[in-house]
Amino acid sequence: MWDTIEYKAKHSIDLTEEEAKWLLERQEPADLKRLYGLADEVNERLNGRVVSFIHNMNVNYTNICEYHCTFCEFKKSPTSKDAYILTFEDVKQRIDSADGELSEITFQGGLSSEVKFHEVLELLSKLREAYPQIHFHAFSPEEIDYYAWETNQSYLETVTQAKEAGMNSMCGTAAEVLDDEVRKKICWEKISSDEWCEIIKTAHHLGLPSTATILFGHIETSQHVMNHLKRVRDVQRETGGITEFIPLLFMPDKTKLGRVIDRSIDRVEYAFKMIAVSRLYFMNDIRNIQTSWVKLSWENALRSLSCGANDMSGTLYHENITREAGGENGEYTPREKFTSEIARIGKIPVERDTVYSYQKNQSTSLRESQHQFLPLDGGG
């Protein structure tokens, strides 16, 4: 198997799902070393020694949510003393207190009848007007589904309204694992895998790029992971609208789901494997694989840059979701630390925007072969 996989990786030939699954199941140190080395080689071919990061802020406009996802400690009931709904002034104060000009705001919230779609759109459009230079990376497919239901509209109408209010791209969150067997167990109220893909493709067709995520390290099997990766790759081959793939390691400590998972596996090693296999499976389809200092720690995130990752995520003001679930790695890191730490391991730090504009003029095998990103309705 190794000879075939190495040949394919060196010649940019797609791995089959069986080959990627086989890689994900390797345990021996010698195999892992070979896997990480191969993923690093493919990453260097696509991205050189450049490691990017973004100066961004999370705005979770409310933490009130009526869903019961078993991995989530972020959500609060409306009667909780910690429940909040942010006003324009609240968000403005946060943005104005940021260290230098922010490039991106990730704008998401819980799902609750306390917060109506028209109110969220009003908040977003006021922010858009006040901060025209900031990119608003907004709404998960789950929020779009919820607001489509609340307003009795189609996904197309709902995403169009969000775009008109100021949304520049869609968050590829709420994907969890795109396999309905897993979804029924960990987030049974959420949209199906098909609906997640449909909403992401709707955004792409409206000219809004998105990210794609996977939440791993709980009850999923390697087959579930492969089903997920295949769905993401299929979407990308259809629309070309995914800017990056973000493997999110599940933080079990304070969650209901955390009580039933196998704690004996080496979770950091699993995260490295997920990054490496994603890099090899997505090959030329998704150029950017993100690692997370918030979930893995700085030291491990830096190590993962030798396993296929090329993006260090963001400076992240107000990172609530990981912290509420028991993550201990802080909520903000200044740009200077990104620059110095990335340089310390011999890589080249580059501050990016949401859509990786710095890559646009780079001529690589990926750019030459990547599928065209074609909005169907001429949207920007």
**How far apart, in whole angstroms, are the C-alpha atoms of residue 180 and residue 182?**
5
Cβ-based neighbours of 340, under 8 Å, separated by 6 or more: none
Partner residues linked to 107 by β-bridges: 59, 138
Mapped onto helix, strand or coil, the DSSP state of residue 324 is: helix
**How far apart, in whole angstroms, are the C-alpha atoms of residue 245 and residue 236?**
11
Q: Least Å distance between CB 77 and ligand SF4? A: 11
Tell me the Ramachandran region of residue 139: left when phi exceeds 0, alpha when psi lies from -120 to 50, beta otherwise.
left
Q: Would you say 5 or 294 has its CB closer to ligand SF4? A: 294
Stretch that binds ligand SF4, among 5-13, 72-80, 279-287, 294-302 (CB under 6 A): 72-80
Residue choice 21, 26, 55, 75 for contact with ligand SF4 (CB under 6 A): 75
Q: Least Å distance between CB 24 and ligand SF4? A: 25
Residue choice 39, 46, 59, 72 for contact with ligand SF4 (CB under 6 A): 72
Q: Least Å distance between CB 257 and ligand SF4? A: 11
List the one residue out of 14, 40, 6 whose CA is nearest residue 285.
Answer: 14
* Contact pattern for ligand SF4 over residues 122 through 151, marking x by CB under 6 A: --------------------x---------
Regarding 70 and contact with ligand SF4 (CB under 6 A), the answer is: no
Asked if 244 contacts 207 with a C-beta cutoff of 8 angstroms, the reply is: no
List the one residue out of 169, 170, 88 whose CA is nearest residue 126.
Answer: 88
List the one residue out of 142, 199, 198 whose CA is nearest residue 174.
Answer: 142
Regarding 65 and contact with ligand SF4 (CB under 6 A), the answer is: yes
Cβ-based neighbours of 264, under 8 Å, separated by 6 or more: none
Asked if 219 contacts 257 with a C-beta cutoff of 8 angstroms, the reply is: yes
Size of the site for ligand SF4 (CB under 6 A): 10
Regarding 251 and contact with ligand SF4 (CB under 6 A), the answer is: no
DSSP state of 179: -
Regarding 67 and contact with ligand SF4 (CB under 6 A), the answer is: yes
* Interacting positions 148-207 with ligand SF4 (CB under 6 A): 187
Q: Would you say 143 or 311 has its CB closer to ligand SF4? A: 143
Regarding 252 and contact with ligand SF4 (CB under 6 A), the answer is: no
Q: Would you say 32 or 219 has its CB closer to ligand SF4? A: 219
Q: What is the 3-state secondary structure (H, E, C) of 301-321?
A: HHHHCCCCCCEEEECCECCCH
Stretch that binds ligand SF4, among 44-52, 69-77, 195-203, 370-378 (CB under 6 A): 69-77
Inter-helix orientation angle 193-205/155-165, to 10°: 50
Stretch that binds ligand SF4, among 20-28, 64-72, 253-261, 267-275 (CB under 6 A): 64-72
Q: Least Å distance between CB 43 and ligand SF4? A: 30
Q: Would you say 187 or 296 has its CB closer to ligand SF4? A: 187
Residues that bind ligand SF4 (CB under 6 A): 65, 67, 69, 72, 74-75, 110-111, 142, 187
